[in-house]
Chains A and B, each alone.
Chain A
């Protein structure tokens, strides 16, 4: 946000009070974030279909927009805007209508603390990492609302699964980030990225073996956190019809869809910032930091897509087994191990 307020200060000079600068800067930043989020979701829906097509020996969209169906997402958006907005007769209407926006807002808020480039961060919070985990949990409420309000048994099952999964996998997700916080001594996202200055060997995932494991744990838990294959249990099409969004149509459904892809990018951005050096390049001085950051995050997204189209889905009890009996203990071991490593190598303050 500093960038924006500086920009406005330069444009208007002393014409704006400091409060005015703050408001103008904040609004602009929020707008940019919303646009980034929406556009990345749109780009990723196209990318997902092309990646799936590539893996499944077919083309994916090819017609709209001359080259490889690049305008397909636009066509889909237009189509979905024209769809009837159906609310089931016996649904809990206010909750039903609100749920997609709760999910959307939850993921939008988390974007505020992502450091795309030096100074380019909407809210440079000292508790940035904590804030991200806290607000992205709000999506769970949205899933529960959608499932309960739909008055459909399949939706309810999807919602129950979604809530159980999100609540469970948040634990290894957060635990895996703790070693990084121990090393940098800060929850501030900017500080975490700056601590990784100096080439790939300084990035946190290569800091020590425990951090490497922690990175893998984070990556797996993040897939579960955003409900994607092989952890897409809340919306398993072959079991629960469509899970918690079975009854949704048109734009309301589109918001679920948008939020899913935004979340996908979000967890990849967090992984990039926390483990993969953020905007720091592989070697040498900082160069086009925003682009470097986005490239890293997009590579992670592609990896998640690759996994989704490769692996079968877990069963709901196996999902819990993996979380509580494998990932949580392993994450705790990582925290302990990283602490011992710090003591042994004399990094502990």
Chain B
């Protein structure tokens, strides 16, 4: 199907499609920067590519075969059609100092994504409405992900950024005039919600302009938790990146482990053993349950329904202590999977421990829905608050529960099944209004569906066999071999010291994360370390819409919305 899309594009644009490529099942086309708006508009309008997932920058200056290429930077637009279920990577290449036309007018999700490319690579986007740094501090000098930026070069930065300027306050006052008499700029008050505020779970900042309690203008700033994940990844071997993925969405670390492995395995064309596949599905769904538990309970706390927190948190702790910790030795930073399989096999009593906790989960869901589902105050606080239409949600790049709450049943597990998800029987719950209540209810129902998947997987029995592929290219040999043979020692030594040699190429590995589509766009130069790893964090595009979502609402609404879109600063800022 995707192949046909590329052919249709060739037929439409002819010579203007400079190159087409297909690697590991990812179709791509290369166009000249000047043609990008036309091609993207065609793809959006005629080929139903409604969703711009991510914009990836690549500095090719050290990529073999491109060292002397004048077109140093590559910008990859990751497009997806939900209705026709095809996907395409559109690439443009630009030399140092040359602009690329911005797609922010076409897709709102391009706004922040292009800012990130600008911030980290210095590629300028022509026509971008607000081309500022996003992850790095506004005083930061240089562009951190360029290959010539030394990883150890730190900078001392301190001045906070004023997000809403004085002239904007005047303009906002002018706009607010119509509704109720004259509003003077001095009637408006700027307030910082965050970076340290009880409702910003993690370090986020929103500067809001308030008329009474009503939010007239809201600007968000992120990057407080930026830990240079992508730069660090380029400095470590493929296997060493694994513990760093734990810290992305630290609420559901196992999901990150699984999806990162899937991306690297895609580059390696590696098959993982059936036992590892089933265990990955089980731990992924457990992580999804934990992710949703934490999101919903924290959201309810923000709404003042504190008691629900314990009903859900007790279950979460049960899952951690009874299942996750015995499985990998820690609760949050799991580091559980390995390229080609798993790090550890399941423990004795794995099935019963899970079943025991799933029963508790169902009780807790019953208790919480009993407390809130038909509670008048809860409904007054959530129905219609932060409502998104499906079109708006797609425009902003929403995926996951926030998109499904609007009524679009898009789920990677159904649209592009991996790890055998096609063999499990589960439903994709959707909402109707896309408001805060729907987001909460979709998450609650998804927990039930995840429990269903886990029960099916356990019911079939775990397949016997190894948990790690027997492939010396990337999988560590068993200890007997290491201690018993020179080949084993050498294999171990090379894999640890130099890393698994991943064939040159690029691949976008993705899966359904707790909060939406989680993806890793990996580029390899054939060495033991990633040339480029780009995370597609689900909450990055979602949070970019926050400023627009809260306009005209009140502070309590903003807090309710912020909780319901489940922003995890670890993956937002990387």
Contact = CB atoms under 8 A, between A and B. Distances in A.
Given A58-B310, A315-B556, A229 B304 contact: yes
A236 interface: yes
Of the candidates A313, A315, A317, the one having the most CB atoms from chain B within 10 angstroms of its own CB is: A315
A57 B371 contact: no
A316 interface: yes
Contacts of A229: 304, 306
Nearest to A55: B307
B375 interface: yes
B183 interface: no
The A interface, classified by DSSP as helix, strand, loop or mixed, is loop
Interface string A231-254: 010001111110000000000000
A17 interface: no
A157 B213 contact: yes
A56 B301 CA distance: 13
A312 B305 contact: yes
Nearest to B300: A312
Interface string B359-382: 000000000000110010110110
Contacts of A55: 307
A310 B554 contact: no
A318 interface: yes
Contacts of A311: 304-305, 375, 377
Interface in B418-449: none
B559 interface: yes
B549 to A, nearest CB: 16
Contact of A312 (B189, B197, B199, B304): B304
B304 A57 contact: no
A81 to B, nearest CB: 26
Contact of A239 (B305, B311, B559): B559
B314 A57 contact: yes
B213 A313 contact: no
Interface string A197-220: 000000000000000000000000
Interface in B526-570: 554-557, 559
Contact of A315 (B307, B311, B381): B381
A76 B559 CA distance: 31
B303 interface: yes
B198 interface: yes
A23 interface: no
B307 A314 contact: no
A230 interface: yes
A239 B555 contact: yes
B307 A313 contact: no
Contacts of B191: 153-154
Contact of B556 (A154, A241, A310, A316): A316
Nearest to A242: B198
B380 A315 contact: yes
Given A55-B307, A232-B304, A317-B554, A312 B198 contact: no
B310 A312 contact: no
Contacts of B198: 237-238, 241
Given A229-B304, A238-B304, A314 B310 contact: no
A309 interface: yes
A232 B556 CA distance: 12
A157 B554 CA distance: 12
B168 to A, nearest CB: 18
A161 to B, nearest CB: 8
A320 B380 CA distance: 13
Nearest to A315: B556
Nearest to A240: B555
B381 A312 contact: yes
Contacts of A236: 304, 556
Contacts of A318: 377, 380-381
A154 B213 CA distance: 11
Contact of B559 (A57, A157, A238): A238
Contacts of A314: 377, 380-381
Contacts of A153: 189, 191
A37 to B, nearest CB: 27
Interface residues of B, number: 30
A312 B375 contact: yes
A58 B378 CA distance: 24
The B interface, classified by DSSP as helix, strand, loop or mixed, is helix
Of the candidates A232, A238, A313, the one having the most CB atoms from chain B within 10 angstroms of its own CB is: A238
B545 to A, nearest CB: 21
A154 B311 CA distance: 30
B302 A238 contact: yes
A310 B304 contact: no
A310 B377 contact: no
Nearest to B192: A153
Given A238-B198, A239-B556, A316 B303 contact: no
Given A57-B311, A153-B189, A239-B555, A313 B303 contact: yes
A21 B371 CA distance: 56
Contacts of A230: 304, 377
Contacts of B381: 312-315, 318
A238 B199 CA distance: 5
A313 B302 CA distance: 9
Interface in B286-304: 300-304
Contacts of A315: 380-381, 554, 556-557
Contacts of A58: 310
Nearest to B385: A315
B163 to A, nearest CB: 15
Interface in A310-332: 310-318
Interface string B378-412: 10110000000000000000000000000000000
Interface in A51-84: 52, 55-58
A238 B311 contact: no
Contacts of B189: 153
A236 B378 CA distance: 16
A317 B381 CA distance: 11
Nearest to B306: A309
A228 B198 CA distance: 19
Nearest to B558: A239
A243 to B, nearest CB: 11
A106 B378 CA distance: 34
Contacts of B557: 315
B2 to A, nearest CB: 45
A56 B307 contact: yes
B197 to A, nearest CB: 6
A229 B304 CA distance: 8
A157 B190 CA distance: 12
Interface string A13-38: 00000000000000000000000000
A239 B304 CA distance: 10
B377 A312 contact: yes
Contacts of B555: 157, 239-240
Contact of B307 (A238, A309, A317): A309
A152 B380 CA distance: 29
A347 B381 CA distance: 45
A318 B377 CA distance: 9
Interface in B238-297: none
Of the candidates A230, A239, A318, the one having the most CB atoms from chain B within 10 angstroms of its own CB is: A239
Nearest to B372: A312
Contacts of B302: 238
Contacts of B314: 57
Given A56-B306, A315-B556, 6 more contacts: A57-B311, A153-B191, A229-B306, A312-B304, A312-B372, A312-B377
Give me the 4 closest cross-chain CB pairs, A-B, nearest first.
A313-B304, A312-B305, A56-B310, A238-B302
Interface of A: 52, 55-58, 153-154, 157, 229-230, 232, 236-241, 309-318
29 contacts: A55-B307, A56-B306, A57-B310, A57-B311, A157-B213, A157-B555, A230-B304, A237-B198, A238-B303, A238-B304, A238-B559, A239-B556, A240-B555, A241-B197, A310-B307, A310-B371, A311-B375, A312-B304, A312-B375, A313-B304, A314-B377, A314-B380, A314-B381, A316-B213, A316-B554, A317-B554, A318-B377, A318-B380, A318-B381
